[in-house]
Amino acid sequence: MMTVSTSARGGAELGLAFFAVTALLFQPAGGAHEGERIARHNVSLCRRRTRYSARPCSTTAPCPELAARATPRTTTSLPNATTCVRWFAAQAANARAARLFGAARSTDDRPALMMVGDSITEELAGTKMGWPAARSDGVPEALARILGHDFATLALGISGDQTQHLLWRLRHGEMSRALATGPSAPASIVSVLIGTNNLAYGHSPTDVLDGIRAVADEVLAQSARALLAINALLPRADGRKQARPSSSWFCPLRCGLAGAAPRPLSLLVDEVNAGLPALVDALRAAHPRRTVRLVDCAKVLLDPAADGRADAHGFAPVLEALVPDLLHPNAAGFERILACQRRAFAALMLTREQLQASN
């Protein structure tokens, strides 16, 4: 049996990732050379980077990536060069999908629905960092069945992304031009679900709210008339099955001061969600001519018998039948989430129509 060294295996993986980047960026006409140049630049960038860590920051290692400052994934939020290349490939694919989505709007009279976020949003496309993912089986079909009749949908997520990464992506091609046109543009909704990975990275709930606000401001600045849906973070209980649930018990930045004990991420999620109503009010005040709505579909994944109460260790009562890994919903979980979102999006559209009628 032939063996492959670690370095050779890593080189093969990086070569495969490079092929993915060039395949995604290489255009058949009018942009081939530029696409290849960008791909080679990104591969070179990933290879030059050293000391990949992807470790949570803490009181002794402050977060170099700030939640409200746009940045691509860096060595502190990527585990290795191969994943770095895959991230840039996924981002390039998303930017291309946004361009195609914009071009198709002229022949589709359904309202546009652009959904942006992290791995949970990426599940709607059936992928994990741009590659097909088994955990997403049936999810794209649920999206088409539940929302596809009423909306032309586009799901732009990348696994592991945080608010600062989504902000960077929106500034680098993922904001569809279909949403940035003038006052005669058809109705559209941008649905934002981001922030849970920031908590695992080490950002505090306040940091996360600042990051969500930055993303929301960017969407409103780039779009002319899009309605904005800010989604509450979904509940998580990853780590509940562990005998010593340490990997999901990250302190946010500064939480260790004065000997404070770590808290499960599910409680930090609750803190972020508790701050979202005030954030939405602030967005409405700052953008008085725009429609912004909070969409909270978190409860559809919880065990109703628990009445929303966390267990003795502070973990959310997430139903494993809907969220097998206690973090990412399966198709059955998305059936509930999308049905909830459909009602909220319909209410958003009705609000728009009412505002138009009153003017």
- Token pair, residue 106, equals 């002229």
The number of helices, as runs of H, and strands, as runs of E, in the chain is 10, 7
What is the pLDDT at residue 38? 75
Helices of type H across 195-296? 196-201, 205-222, 265-286
Say if 349 falls within a structural domain.
yes
- Tell me the residue range of the domain where 266 lies: 38-56+68-358
Task: Tell me how far apart the alpha carbons of residues 216 and 292 are, in angstroms, rounded to a whole number.
Answer: 9
Q: What's the CA angle centered on 68, arms 64 and 73, to 5 degrees?
A: 50
Residue 36 C-beta-side C-alpha neighbours within 13 Å: 6
pLDDT given for residue 181 in this prediction? 60
Q: Measured between alpha carbons, how far is 263 from 249 in angstroms, rounded to an integer?
A: 6
User: Does residue 19 lie in a domain region?
Assistant: no
Please state, in angstroms and rounded to a whole number, the distance separating the CA atoms of residues 334 and 121: 10
- What confidence score (pLDDT) does residue 107 get? 85
The two three-digit tokens of residue 51, written as one number: 């000391």
Instruction: Report whether 118 contacts 160 (CB < 8 A).
Output: yes
199 within some domain: yes
Q: What is the pLDDT of residue 263?
A: 72
- pTM metric for this prediction: 0.87
What are φ and ψ of residue 187, in 5° steps? -60, 145
Strand partners, 193: 117
Is residue 245 in some structural domain? yes
Structural domain contains residue 281: yes
Nearest to 89 by CA among 76, 103, 101, 78: 78
At 349, the amino acid letter reads: M
How many domains, the chain?
A: 1
How confident is the model at residue 261, as a pLDDT?
A: 61
Q: How far is Cα 196 from Cα 213, in angstroms, rounded to an integer?
A: 14
Give, as one character, the DSSP assignment of residue 170.
I
Asked whether residue 27 is domain-assigned, the answer is: no
The CATH code of the domain that includes 108 is 3.40.50.1110
Confirm whether 288 is domain-assigned: yes
How many other C-beta atoms are found inside a 10 Å radius of the C-beta of residue 353?
11
What is the predicted pLDDT for the residue at 73? Answer: 95
Cβ–Cβ under 8 Å, residues 319 and 302: yes
The verdict on residue 10 lying in a domain is no
Positions of the chain with pLDDT lower than 70, given as ranges: 1-35, 59, 180-186, 242-262, 352-359
